[in-house]
A = this chain, B = another copy of it.
Amino acid sequence: MSRKPVCLVLGAGAGIGGHVGKRFAAGGYHAVLVRRSDEEGLGRLVKAIEDAGGEATGRMLNAVEDGAIEDLVIHVERDIGPIEVALFNLGAQFGNRTLEETPNKLFELGWRMTSFALFRLAKTIAPLMAKRGGGKILVTSATSAMRGNAGQHAHAAAIGGRRLLCQSLNAELSVKGIHICHIYIDAAIEAPDTLGRLLGPELFKKLLEEKGGGKDELVIPEKVAETYWHIAHQHRSAWSHEVDIRPHSEQPWWNS
């Protein structure tokens, strides 16, 4: 058991998930970092946090498996401590695919990884948080939660539904002291595990050269982690439920 409050991160890669984990560990939380693949990367993340004097635990998990999220929550609460902040950071961006290029299985997987997985997390964790008088559930989301677009059939249906699930959860849970916030990143993120994988190493490198570095034209995970931290610590008289994030150089979805 840890003496620190727990911050659980579902989807803790080298992008927003990992940096939120680091930020909360630096701020006095025990970070429980969960991801599906790249155990080595996860190990490095845990070590980096520990080297900086923080506490962290890594877990490998396939969130879409029956019972996986439910068991995780139970084990973390029993073995490490009460989860004060849960970051749901699973996405299902499959790139642009026409209707024909979107198999039923993919459409279903998108829903299982985003909408259904958040439902299962909330169903398991909300009663525990409510019993303790409160908690925070932060959800990382994306432009496709705001409007559908060509090639986004699976993605928009999944995370558009998830956005309204966040609103439903908020309507029931905020009065129980549970702060739910839907944070949507309305631009490309400087994240090697997700965008990097989607684009491939060469294109990703080119993008970094073009928009990264001192230009700050991609969302920098380390920087956006400050906003997650802020939201998780807003006073309960002044909570935000939906927050958009994009670089200075990008037009919002409603303009582009």
The interface size of chain A toward B, counting residues with CB under 8 Å, comes to 81
A11 and B164 CA atoms in complex are apart in Å by: 24
Selected from B157, B159, B167, B252, the residue in CB contact (under 8 A) with A156 is: B167
Contact residues of A between 226 and 242, Cβ < 8 Å to B: 226-227, 230, 234-242
Contact A227 B230 (CB under 8 A): yes
Given known pairs A104-B120, A237-B219, A239-B245, the reply for A148 and B175 (CB within 8 Å) is: no
Q: Decide if A235 touches B241 in the complex (CB within 8 Å).
A: no
A171 contacts the other chain (CB 8 A) = yes
**Residue picked from A158, A174, A179, most chain B C-beta under 10 Å:** A174
Residues from chain B with a CB closer than 8 A to the CB of A220 are 235, 237-238
Closest B residue by C-beta to A245? B238
Q: Is the CB of B161 within 8 A of A115?
A: yes
Q: CB distance A240 to B243 under 8 Å?
A: yes
Q: Mark A138-161, 1 if CB is under 8 A from B, else 0.
A: 000000111111111100111111
In the bound complex, do residue B147 and residue A254 qualify as a contact, i.e. CB atoms below 8 Å apart? yes
Please report which residues of chain A, range 186-236, place their CB below 8 angstroms from some CB of chain B when the two chains form the complex. Answer: 190, 216-220, 223-224, 226-227, 230, 234-236
| With contact pairs A126-B99, A149-B167 given, residues A244 and B241 touching in the complex (Cβ less than 8 Å) | yes
The yes or no answer to A63 lying at the interface (CB within 8 A) is: no
Which of these, B172, B236, B252, contacts A241 with CB under 8 Å?
Answer: B252
A237 to B213, CA, bound (A): 11
Q: How far is the CB of A192 from chain B (nearest CB, A)?
A: 16
Given A116-B111, A237-B218, A244-B241, answer yes or no on A148-B164 (Cβ-Cβ < 8 Å). yes
Asked whether, in the complex, the Cβ of B239 is within 8 Å of the Cβ of A242, the reply is: no
| Chain A residues at the B interface, C-beta cutoff of 8 Å | 98-100, 102, 104, 107-108, 111, 115-116, 119-120, 122-123, 126-127, 144-153, 156-175, 177, 179, 190, 216-220, 223-224, 226-227, 230, 234-255
Q: A174-B248, A217-B237 are in contact. List 9 more A-B contacts (CB 8 A).
A: A119-B157, A148-B163, A148-B171, A152-B171, A153-B165, A157-B161, A216-B235, A227-B240, A241-B244
The list of the 3 closest CB pairs from A to B, nearest first, reads: A161-B161, A148-B167, A160-B164
